[in-house]
Chain A
């Protein structure tokens, strides 16, 4: 009989959450903070699936459904986050291009 139970998973979730918070508050880099957000979301997902396994009524899949939605929305959020980073990158580049144009004239 295995000795692993619900608290083991919850502790992993708590550790993920705490480390995610640390990443969020100590990082300066925007992409680094987004990584911390992903850790927090994973922490919540571990909780959801652990509770679904141990606490929910037999046959109920609410926690797993929730986790799937979280994964989907996390992907959408990451896509928008990257698009904004890309926009910033392109803004930089356009500024450079304009400068070189000015110099040519």
Chain B
């Protein structure tokens, strides 16, 4: 019995609270769009805030129910605070935010934003690879790093290397790495090195020193930058370069790939047993 009347009172307060919240927004909207008089607006807002404060009794003020004069005084105080906050946001902070956002949008080109997207993707992927404790997560982070680098290549007018990056690094090397991880997981232990490895603090210190030095160099060194940069497609130029100026490296690379192919097969295949050979010979 008591429970059901408490429940009904709670529901009523909840309804009044919702009504009050709706009222605050509705009155503000009426003032803004229907040119409701300022006095009437403030009065109605005060009523709505009072409704909200009374409704809040259902929740936060359950221990100390406000009613009568206390309620009116308390809601007046709340109304004052809210009015100040609203005035501050609307008249001071708002224009400032809108102004600076406008300036920011004027400052940042879409192109730059896309660059930063790729740069963050690359560096975050690399960081994930470096610091993740789970090697599978590291491998997936590497995917993002490779993708980001491919995006950067596009930015630099290197369309062919970008595609090669996606095809070979992601399609080839990353798949190989995932295979290797899964195989080594299966045998229970990682193939460990006997050399001592350094702890994470030393590693982080090394990263800071290396990155700091190289960044200083990147920013400060007097690189001689050409005035005009080309974004023309490069595939045809690369093809010609490979068959004229860089013919020798191209051919040597093919010999290296052959040797690597044979070598990988030698190492990975099953051993030819001498007994099998003699069987074949007989």
A residues sitting closer than 8 Å to B (CB atoms) are 1-23, 25-36, 38-39, 42, 45-46, 49-59, 61, 64-65, 67-69, 71-90, 92-93
Contacts and interface: CB of A to CB of B under 8 A. Distances in A.
Interface of B: 109, 111-112, 115, 119, 122-123, 126-127, 129-131, 135, 138-139, 142, 145-146, 149, 152-153, 155-158, 160-161, 164-165, 168-169, 172-173, 176-177, 179-181, 183-184, 186-187, 190-193, 197-200, 202-204, 206-208, 210-211, 214-215, 217-219, 223-226, 228-230, 234, 237-238, 241-242, 246, 249, 253, 256-257, 260-261, 263-265, 267-268, 270
20 contacts: A10-B218, A14-B210, A14-B211, A15-B123, A21-B206, A23-B138, A25-B206, A28-B192, A30-B184, A30-B192, A32-B135, A32-B138, A38-B173, A39-B145, A45-B161, A53-B156, A71-B168, A80-B267, A89-B187, A90-B268
A55 B223 contact: yes
Contacts of A18: 206-208, 210-211, 214
Contact of B237 (A4, A59, A79): A59
Contact of A19 (B112, B126, B197): B126
Given A71-B161, A85-B191, 18 more contacts: A4-B115, A6-B225, A18-B211, A21-B206, A26-B199, A29-B184, A39-B145, A52-B156, A55-B225, A58-B228, A65-B246, A67-B158, A71-B168, A74-B168, A74-B173, A76-B260, A79-B260, A84-B267
A73 B161 contact: no
**Majority SS at the chain A contact face:** helix
A78 B169 CA distance: 10
**Majority SS at the chain B contact face:** helix
